[in-house]
Amino acid sequence: MCRQLIKSFTENYIEKLFYFCLKKTGNSAEAQDLASDITLNILTALHSGTIPEHFSAWVWQIARNRYSSWADKKQHRLNSIAFFDINDYDNLPDKSSINEPLETSLLHSEELSLLRRELAFISADYRQIVVAFYIDDQKAKDIAASLCLPLGTVLSKLSRARKILKEGMCMAREFGSKSYNPEDVNFFSSGSQPSGLPWNAVYRKIPKNILLEASNNPSTIEELAVELGIAVPYIEEEVNLLVQATLLKKVGDKFVTDFFILSKECSQEIYSIQRKSATERNKMFDTIVSESLEKVRALRIAEDHISDSTVKWWLMVYCADYYLSTLKGYDVNFPYTRKNGENWGFVGYENIELPETIVMGHTGRGDESKAMFWTYQFSDYNLWQDPKILHDSSYVTLLADILKNKRKPSALTDSEQNFWKGLNGEVAHLNADGFAVPDILVIHRETLKEIKEILKSHPLYTKIMENIQDVFDKIVQVLKKYNTPYLKDQLIYCASIKILEIRVILIHDAVASGSLTLPDSKHNTIGMWIEFE
């Protein structure tokens, strides 16, 4: 039994104990020492024949007891240096008068160790002056001159910094869980982002966790530093970048995330609302699309070789998009323009395990006044495609010109031929006469209006709109419950983005029922179309 318990302990508790100690001590070296002490006590007890009735509870009780003992000793050491005053450093010998540099001579002292720790959390207003005075051994008048500040201001800041540092040095800090267990968050964006924002600002763990901590929780730089276990100078830099990216905003002396990050609980509530009425709603969608398919196909949006199944995949999602756009209150346009002139929206989601994925992309490229290439990107079924035509608007311009003016690819200029090579076999092919035949839907703007009229005139239109409107209104109410006053102007935008998820639920049910069939080939053009005047 003892051997089994020892095996269980070494396999299941060693790592957990270290993180417990790291959270309590806020210091990796101290955490290792404390974890070793706890482990030694547990293994000694087990080797001596102790058989605890409730093993897990017994392990954690020992851990808490040993931490309590460690904390008492730590406090005793702190009390033993309580007489220490930061002012005492004023009288330390000049670096030039001793053989060893001041910092090296005090490297292992408890006082300097604590001082360094607190310097990591003191604000920028004080840190530069304190480091110059105590670490770099500069005189107050020289610091004042270098910073273009009055001597009185420097002395005042030094006095205030001494008090802050002393208070911090006598405090046992406990770092937040994000210091050793960073969380992850997923994002959704809308609109045009030529600068690369917001994605190039949030691909690393540090900015993600700053945003998570400040979501609906205004936090100072120092509070963020303690929660993430990262020194203030580094946090300041990250925060400034997020503010410039308009993902954080300053409220007083605190920072708050400037977009919705939905908690797990919020996402679960919204998903439940969407799923609850999905069966009835999706049956209506299937009926509308199936009964409208022939009329839509008669508008010549697809060549003969393109299957009804391919057209139906597009029409199913387009129908949902059109109905959503007519909802009362629905608006996917972000409410204000960014500092750099762009107009994009952003929503975050804490990681949550749902019964199904609910992510779908809708990406376009081109000139809306001339021609646009669009594609729906499905997160499931290996249908998240990224064709070359999405990478350069020149592909879109050329394809539209070839189709509208019936140009033969063989007559293209040399530069056009290079783009045609990227289109041929991907979204178009040559027929026997040497003309380009599109493998994607080709839809004129006037034709889109006719398609909308077909979908709106269906007898089930009113009933399905009641279902969708009810879902949207309930999503708004859920978001209000989790809302922050700083984001009230984004509530409708966020609700509009969230209800788009019913499109993915629709696709899942249609595939499961056999109404939509998956393509046989890995190369397919499902969900792709080009539109122009």
Tens-place pLDDT, residues 306-364: 999 999 999 999 999 999 999 999 999 999 899 999 999 999 999 899 999 998 999 99
- Cβ-based neighbours of 333, under 8 Å, separated by 6 or more: 191, 343, 345, 493
Angstrom CA distances, 55 to 4, 90, 197, stand at 11, 54, 51
In this prediction, what percent of the chain has a pLDDT beyond 90?
Answer: 54
Whether the Cβ atoms of residue 256 and residue 242 lie closer than 8 Å to each other: no
Residue 125's identity, in one-letter code, is: D
> Which pLDDT score is estimated for 126?
79
244-259, pLDDT tens digit by residue?
A: 999 999 999 999 999 9
* pLDDT higher than threshold 80 for residue 183: yes
409-444, pLDDT tens digit by residue?
A: 999 999 999 999 999 999 999 999 999 999 999 999
- Phi and psi (nearest 5°) for 480? -65, -35
By mean pLDDT, which of 130-139, 142-151, 204-213, 312-321 is the weakest? 130-139
pTM of the model: 0.71
* pLDDT higher than threshold 60 for residue 207: yes
* pLDDT higher than threshold 60 for residue 95: no
- DSSP secondary structure, 328-359, as one string: TT---S-SS--TTS--EEEEEEE----SS---
> Which pLDDT score is estimated for 140?
86
- Stretch 105-121: mean pLDDT: 57
- Stretch 112-119: mean pLDDT: 64
> Which pLDDT score is estimated for 79?
53
4-21, pLDDT tens digit by residue?
A: 888 888 888 888 888 888
What is the DSSP-derived secondary structure letter of residue 411? G
Structure tokens at 471: 């879902």
Q: Report how far residue 63's alpha carbon sits from residue 17's, in angstroms, rounded to the nearest whole number.
A: 8
In this prediction, what percent of the chain has a pLDDT beyond 70?
Answer: 88
* pLDDT higher than threshold 70 for residue 37: yes
* pLDDT higher than threshold 80 for residue 112: no
Please, which residues bridge with residue 529 across strands? 374, 441
By mean pLDDT, which of 154-168, 298-312, 514-528 is the weakest? 154-168
- Stretch 265-273: mean pLDDT: 96
SS3 8: helix
- DSSP secondary structure, 52-66, as one string: -SSHHHHHHHHHHHH
- Tell me the pLDDT band of 159, cut-offs 50, 70 and 90: confident
Domains for the chain: give ranges and CATH numbers.
2-80 (1.10.1740), 86-169 (1.10.10.10), 177-259 (1.10.10.10), 264-335+357-532 (no CATH)
Whether the Cβ atoms of residue 157 and residue 165 lie closer than 8 Å to each other: no
- Stretch 369-383: mean pLDDT: 91
Structure tokens at 53: 């009735």
Cα Dmax for the chain: 96
> Which of the two residues, 367 and 469, has the higher pLDDT score?
469
> Which pLDDT score is estimated for 116?
65
Whether the Cβ atoms of residue 334 and residue 246 lie closer than 8 Å to each other: no
- Tell me the pLDDT band of 170, cut-offs 50, 70 and 90: low
- Stretch 363-369: mean pLDDT: 91
- Tell me the pLDDT band of 277, cut-offs 50, 70 and 90: very high
Q: Report how far residue 197's alpha carbon sits from residue 190's, in angstroms, rounded to the nearest whole number.
A: 11
72-93, pLDDT tens digit by residue?
A: 777 665 554 443 444 444 443 3
Q: What is the mean pLDDT of the chain?
A: 86
